[in-house]
């Protein structure tokens, strides 16, 4: 790694930020980075010493094989140790660090009049009660629990309750279709599903319970349904009479299976002994798109994920007591798992938990919330930045953003124009922009600036995090040195990397390790410049990135060809101003098929359930039997 001497315009951290920073300058970063690679045992042991271990490890910090030619791929961290991540991120703060009264979350609903504050001790008691309810429903260590909830506190309660009793959570983003939910329930064989009656997304009321029932019905059609209990939260916005529209919401009910959350929690004890888990026991499964039609169940384990999300959060956001941190992602994605729940809580941080959307009820919603809670660290996606950029600086000027210290992005490459705007208009020229590159699979940040240490170049995720050793390979698997462009790979594991794909270790090895033996292959292209900075150039497989979320063309193609009138479908990506990329679907119908509105609607429905998003189809051209449809995912 070279210390920057570039002619590129660089942005340097302020002395103010450097004064109290955990990693205060580039030399400190380089020194720690060297230590993390040369002596990972010592480096990670120091991190582990911050946590509670019921039993110490018997194996080394990290043990692995990354070379398919030498046997099965595996990664193990702190084998033999026993711990519990929920205990570490909650009980310790309350019992040993007097943080019980500290705010864990400021919950801010879709509508500005909906908000609440949750302290660490309140969080602990909610989690324990939920854990007891799950145990009562028969959930045991190793069982899977599917969670289909909007961004309400019960989502955090449920995931931590699972972690407490050793159940494996599988969170399905609550914008996904019944088809996607069904597929994930079948794959995990979950016995319990936790959901809500409904949710407002902007102006729109969505009947979640109905989607859940459709999903369960589909499960029964395809296989025997594993779900025996469905725990249903009454959404706070649907409790009040003022939400008049709530009367319109019919909540379908099966008294055999369905249980209201409030009724179950009432009388559930506030004490709950955690299940002491092995370091390598599974913590959660989270599905991500694969280059075939079937999503991949990325599996993360307890100890390594805990160490890694905790340390990246501390360093990348330079966390200090007194910060108010806000990550705008949904917990249904890995960003929320790692940097709304586990990472911040491990550090005893105060976070904003936001349910709404950036432009409802007005386009200054984000800035209003930053002012309201005096947010110091703000983390969002390039797609949101580009969307808000369109409204100019005026909405920002109405609010006081002087509390902000660091701003971050994740999800896709950020174009320099959006970077500049984020830095100048939002960060007021004062806040470093941490452009964090990572994946569902990596568990946490792998290429990222450290805000007080790394001179920034707009559009570059800069340098590797501690313990991460990147390399760039050409098509033949030859490693490229210095200035170069090629495949981004990693030479060794860090504690937070995924361990397998759920019940499909073969696909795990084939997808990530087969192409270049000895390396984890990210699937992203990358350039290293003369200063050693890494620039992600985008996916180099059949995946595309829409609004910061990966999907595969094959996934959408497979869904479209399910339609009886469709002969063939080809889906390609196209650049999109706000979303980064969008889809164009080319569909040719069988001879008997006729292109009409009904077919378009049906195709939209199919595309929607496969891409788990909303597709708008427009007719472009109708040449003979081939119809060209453009689809946008929003």
Question: Where does this chain bind ligand WT7 (CB under 6 A)?
Answer: 288, 333-335, 410-413, 435-440, 461, 522-524, 536, 539, 545, 548-550
Alpha-carbon separation of residue 484 from 526, 533, 536 (angstroms): 8, 11, 12
Which is nearer to ligand WT7, 87 or 534 (by Cβ)?
534
Q: How far is it, in rounded angstroms, from Cα 322 to Cα 320?
A: 6
Residue matched to tokens 């969002």: 380
Query: 26-38 and 40-48 helices cross at what angle (nearest 10)?
Result: 110
Using the minimum distance from each CB to ligand WT7, give the nearer residue, 405 or 549.
Answer: 549
Q: How far is the CB of 336 from ligand WT7 (least distance, A)?
A: 9
Report which of 360, 325, 324 is spatially closest to residue 110, judged by C-alpha positions.
360
Would you say 123 or 521 has its CB closer to ligand WT7? 521
3-state secondary structure of 69: helix
Per DSSP, the three-state class of 586 is strand
The residues near 133 (Cβ < 8 Å, ≥ 6 apart) are: 161, 231, 264, 265, 268
Question: To the nearest whole angstrom, how small is the minimum distance from the Cβ of residue 35 to ligand WT7?
Answer: 25
Provide the terminal-to-terminal Cα distance of the chain, rounded to the nearest Å: 39
Contacts for 572 with CB less than 8 Å, ≥ 6 apart: 553, 583, 584, 586
Q: How far is the CB of 440 from ligand WT7 (least distance, A)?
A: 3
Min separation Cβ 548 and ligand WT7, Å: 6
Give the residue at shortest CB distance from ligand WT7: 440
**Token pair belonging to 179:** 């088809």
Could you tell me the CA-to-CA distances from 216 to 90, 140, 158, 176, 274 in Å, in that order? 33, 22, 20, 14, 30
> What's the closest the beta carbon of residue 435 comes to ligand WT7, in angstroms?
5
* Cα dihedral sign, 478-483-486-490: positive
E strand or H helix at 525: strand 520-528
| Distance in angstroms (rounded) separating the CA atoms of residues 335 and 309 | 10
Give me the residues paired with residue 572 across strands: 584
Minimum CB–partner distance for residue 302 and ligand WT7 (Å): 20
Residues 608-625: b if buried by 16+ CB within 10 A, e if exposed: bbbbbbebebeeeeeeeb
Which residues in 212-354 belong to E strands, given as ranges?
A: 229-233, 258-260, 277-278, 282-288, 296-301, 324-327, 350-354
Question: Exposed (0-12), middle (13-18) or buried (19+): which is 187, by Cβ within 10 Å?
Answer: buried
Neighbours of 54 (CB within 10 A): 12
- Closer residue to ligand WT7, CB minimum distance, 312 or 376: 312
CB nearer to ligand WT7: pick between 411 and 518: 411
Report the residue number, 87 or 287, with the smaller CB distance to ligand WT7: 287
Please, which residue, 146 or 612, has the CB nearer to ligand WT7?
Answer: 612
Q: Which CB, 524 or 557, lies closer to ligand WT7?
A: 524
Pairing of strands 377-380, 324-327: parallel
**Of residues 404 and 550, the one with the C-beta less far from ligand WT7:** 550
Are the C-beta atoms of 222 and 214 separated by less than 8 Å? no
Exposed, middle or buried, 546 (CB in 10 Å: 0-12/13-18/19+)? buried
* Beta-carbon count within 10 A of 40 CB: 19
**Which two tokens mark 87?**
């205990």
Say if CB 117 and CB 105 are below 8 A apart: yes
Which residues are bridge partners to 103 per DSSP? Answer: 119
Q: Nearest distance from residue 298's CB to ligand WT7, in Å? A: 8
Q: How far is the CB of 181 from ligand WT7 (least distance, A)?
A: 18
Q: Residue 166 or residue 548: which is nearer to ligand WT7 going by CB? A: 548
If the CB atoms of residues 191 and 440 are measured against ligand WT7, the closer one turns out to be 440
Rank residues 124 and 418 by Cβ distance to ligand WT7 and give the closer one.
Answer: 418
**Closest distance to ligand WT7 from the beta carbon of 422 (Å):** 13
Distance of closest approach, residue 332 Cβ to ligand WT7, in angstroms: 11
Q: Which is nearer to ligand WT7, 128 or 473 (CB)?
A: 473
CB of residue 312 to ligand WT7, shortest distance in Å? 11
Cβ 594 to ligand WT7 shortest distance, Å: 38
> Shortest gap between Cβ of 443 and ligand WT7 (angstroms)?
9
């Amino acid at each position: 790694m070279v210390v920057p001497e570039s002619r590129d315009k660089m942005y340097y951290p302020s002395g103010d930020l450097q004064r109290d920073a955990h990693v205060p300058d580039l030399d400190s970063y380089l020194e720690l980075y060297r230590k993390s690679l040369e002596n990972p045992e010592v480096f990670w042991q120091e991190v582990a010493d911050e946590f509670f271990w019921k039993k110490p490890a018997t194996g080394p910090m990290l043990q692995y094989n990354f070379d398919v030619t030498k046997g099965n791929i595996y990664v193990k961290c702190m084998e033999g140790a026993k711990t519990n991540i929920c205990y570490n991120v909650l009980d310790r703060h309350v019992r040993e660090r007097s943080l019980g009264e500290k705010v864990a979350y400021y919950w801010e609903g879709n509508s500005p009049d909906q908000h609440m504050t949750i302290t660490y001790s309140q969080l602990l008691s909610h989690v324990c009660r939920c854990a007891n309810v799950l145990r009562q429903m028969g959930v045991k260590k190793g069982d899977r629990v599917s969670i289909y909830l909007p961004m309400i506190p019960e989502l955090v309660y449920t995931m931590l309750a699972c972690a407490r009793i050793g159940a494996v959570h599988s969170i399905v983003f609550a914008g996904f279709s019944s088809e996607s939910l069904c597929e994930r329930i079948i794959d995990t064989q979950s016995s319990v599903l936790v959901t809500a009656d409904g949710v407002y997304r902007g102006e729109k009321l969505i009947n979640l319970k109905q989607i859940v029932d459709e999903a369960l019905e589909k499960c029964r059609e395809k296989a025997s349904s594993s779900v025996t209990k469905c725990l249903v939260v009454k959404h706070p916005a649907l409790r009040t009479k003022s939400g008049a529209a709530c009367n319109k919401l019919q909540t379908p009910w099966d008294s055999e299976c369905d249980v209201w959350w409030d009724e179950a929690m009432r009388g559930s004890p506030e004490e709950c002994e955690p299940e002491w888990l092995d370091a390598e026991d599974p913590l959660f499964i989270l599905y991500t798109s694969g280059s075939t039609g079937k999503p991949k169940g990325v599996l993360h384990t307890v100890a390594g994920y805990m160490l890694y999300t905790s340390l990246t959060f501390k360093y990348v956001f330079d966390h200090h007591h007194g910060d108010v941190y806000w990550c705008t992602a949904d917990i249904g994605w890995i960003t929320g798992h790692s940097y709304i729940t586990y990472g911040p809580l491990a550090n005893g941080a105060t976070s904003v938990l936001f349910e709404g959307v950036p432009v409802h009820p007005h386009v200054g919603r984000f800035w209003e919330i930053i002012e309201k809670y005096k947010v110091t660290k703000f983390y969002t996606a390039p797609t949101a930045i580009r969307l808000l950029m369109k409204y100019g600086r005026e909405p920002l000027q109405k609010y006081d953003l002087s509390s902000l210290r660091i701003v971050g992005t994740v999800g896709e490459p950020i174009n320099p124009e959006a970077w500049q705007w984020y830095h100048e208009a939002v960060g007021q020229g004062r806040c470093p922009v941490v452009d964090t590159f990572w994946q569902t699979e990596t568990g946490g940040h792998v290429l990222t600036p450290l805000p007080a240490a790394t001179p920034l170049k707009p559009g570059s995720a800069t340098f590797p995090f501690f313990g991460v050793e990147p390399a760039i390979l050409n098509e033949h698997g030859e490693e490229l040195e210095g200035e170069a462009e090629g495949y981004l790979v990693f030479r060794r594991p860090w504690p937070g990397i995924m361990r397998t794909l759920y019940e499909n270790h073969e696909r795990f090895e084939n997808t990530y390790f087969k192409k270049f033996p000895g390396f984890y292959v990210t699937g992203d292209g990358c350039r290293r410049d003369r200063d050693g900075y890494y620039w992600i150039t985008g996916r180099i497989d059949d995946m595309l990135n829409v609004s910061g979320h990966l999907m595969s063309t094959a996934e959408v193609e497979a869904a479209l060809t399910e339609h009886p009138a469709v002969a063939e479908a080809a889906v390609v990506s196209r650049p999109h101003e706000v979303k980064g990329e969008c889809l164009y679907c080319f569909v040719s119908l069988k001879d008997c098929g006729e292109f009409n509105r009904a077919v378009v609607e049906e195709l939209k429905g199919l595309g929607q359930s496969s891409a788990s998003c909303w597709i708008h189809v427009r007719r472009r051209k109708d040449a003979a039997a081939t119809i060209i449809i453009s689809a946008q995912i929003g």
